Structure 1
């Protein structure tokens, strides 16, 4: 394209359009001719302001050449002012002379240049081109400003900018929403008034952050645990930073603060922290449960030797002898030790369970009568039993143990001082938030549950003690074993329920148990037991157990009961003896937990070949471990270690007839 000096001419393919406003026709015609020769297109000519405004309202032009002095009252300054309100077309004033006042008025319309009459063609071209360049630059700038304004309106963070005196110069809509300050109210206000950031010490820290950012010349993050005080006085957790604003020469002339309301993220963090804590608590309890169950199993194995030998020895000793009393004491002590082991198994959720439909109100009344002798006479025990309470599926004795342990624990917290214990039952809708706060970790879903509540007016517990009350062997009592509440937790867990505790030191304690209920009525289960102290068996019996002392004691007991006894020290040897069929065994006593090939695998392999062989499964754990085996239809029963001559005789009678 042609070049005139430093000026680039408009492209011939797209000539720029110019509109002329001039009341002298000769001057207007001269301008039109010159502009045409320069390559511009003249869109029209008006000789007064009214016609000019009416015509420009319907035309799209690139430039207006405007004479300042026009006839009919409206001069060029007035026309430019009105034109500026309706469009952004650039205006160049054309004038022969003008007084200072008129020029001052013209300047308020922000013209893009002046051309003095008579004008030089080169000067006219230069003025037009500069005006067009300036107009394009300002159009781009306005576009950027609109884009920036849209960005600030749409951004997910609050943004506040200031000058170098800490006065607010910009605030985006989100910042208005969070702070409560409108743009009209905030502009010109001190930053610390609009954006008041407080730490844990309750001091407005905004000025110090501003000074630090201005001094260091870098972005400053205001840190964690900061809160914004809104205009209406609310405190919101925020995450924010403050950065200096620099001009083109690098001088700092203000700052910009970017922040966001962290209320939702704080809630998510708290929820995640709560879930992590509950998961850790659940994992800890599960680990302790595994440990407790393992200890109980090993102790039951040891106690089996004691109880079998003591009960067998009593058969050969006179009832009136001192030895009989000693053996009775040994057996009694072993049985009490077995009860402790059962409490440990209950904590692990592996205690022996015989579930039935239980009316919890009836059970509570019966238990309360028993408790009158177990709690202090200064304790007032009251019942608040709800109406229309559905039954639950559970072990009656274990549920009674739960109520007794909680009430006795509450009575002991009163320290033999006057106090109250309230036992309450309700069938109620339980919100998810309450269930999430429970200790067992059963992950119950929001719904209707039976609630059992035990509330006391005792001394309460500190948070440190509260965190450990369900740990096995943890106790604050001088004579306690620390298994009562541990057993409660395990029983509730094994019944598919959940448990929550609220306690304040000096303000009493409340235990709440939530249990799923039955929708079917209680079914009566009749059991018939045949028992004979003179029953003797015949034939061969096989004992499969990896504990040599149990094998020896068991052999003595079965010999006493009329059997010829063979022994196997592990599952592989026992399976070999059974399947070899060198001896027709009348019954097999099979330990469930053994190294290499355990009792479960032995049982399944034997049942495939010999479905009618009577088998007694033995374990230091509860019958939970063998429920599926006993329900396979074969002649199978279960006996939990430790056991006596009488208890093994009962199992043999029931199995063999």
Structure 2
């Protein structure tokens, strides 16, 4: 069997060439390529006997491709084709070692003769011959059976194939006669299996079924199940191979596996949803109780402040800190209640820079002493519209994560606010930024000099319940992401191991 690789960037010519190759006895399409680089890769992979190569390819010339194929020192023959019947093309092709040239409009008449000249032994072996007699025991079944059947001698040479086998494989019945069994099998390892089946074949007892990948005459691949049984015949025995088409079954099995994978994904999503629902119920209940406790703490602290004598400055400062911390904690519990649907949001116009300044005392308490807080806050910023509890949660999540990334070493946390005009291209690089309109946005950045994250961690950083902390819950950044998406903002994160991390949020300006 002569295996041909067709290289052309025209799908129409690929089909025409495949048709003409299928008409030549002993020839089959090994594959197709639409560019020079793809052709070189397919040659290295398939080792075809013949390459039918267009001179005008999109990425490199066919002359250059032919030259590189010849450098591989394979037994592959190269025939150039072109729309132009140019003597220059012929001469250039011969100079680089091409084995022939055919104008595209003459491929039907010139290709058979050229193949016969380049492969005389194979062409003679596959020349049309008289139909060999079919063993009597097969009788009329041979022609009428819907099952593909193929006869081979004990040396593994194809003797005959029935009409069903022709329909299955696409080869003319005469084109496979005299060809080795291996010529129709795609996997060389399976070709050895066919030889083993030849040796193991017994009369009236088919060999165990074996799955094969078969090369169709048009170059495509189909899957079949093969069995072999021995037929006694004078002067030499024959082996009958039966082939059952498994291509559709394989397709359906692949679809079934795909549906099974989807079902498992849906089940996992349902479990996650149920987990979140249970967590929401628990969170709402706990947040409600905590809010009541914090309200009492703040009330007692405020009452104590009213009853303090004028000269109790130290005590007044401590009680004020307790009252302030309780107020911020109440804002956080309100945010939890809001997330569980038990509190209505109260969005206000907020000056982001002033808001961060007011949070300084809480941030100093939340961060360890080895972390230095540095502020770069813009002046006279346009307001953003946001629930104060949500904004506290965003800033605290970023600051606490930065502090934990720094660990026990000394480090710096830089909090920056700014106003910037963002173009569509810049927004497209941000999380949730693809659908936002270009324009002015308010930016909040929190960067640290901590340990940073590797690529795998960075990819999952906003995933609910994902955490790298020993006692973390993996909800802080997930809730931050939810808030930003809900208000129509965008996010950006950048990190590298040993170089720290920066989180950015871009808020829309309040209308």
TM-score with structure 1 setting the length: 0.34
After TM superposition, the score normalised by the length of structure 2 is 0.41
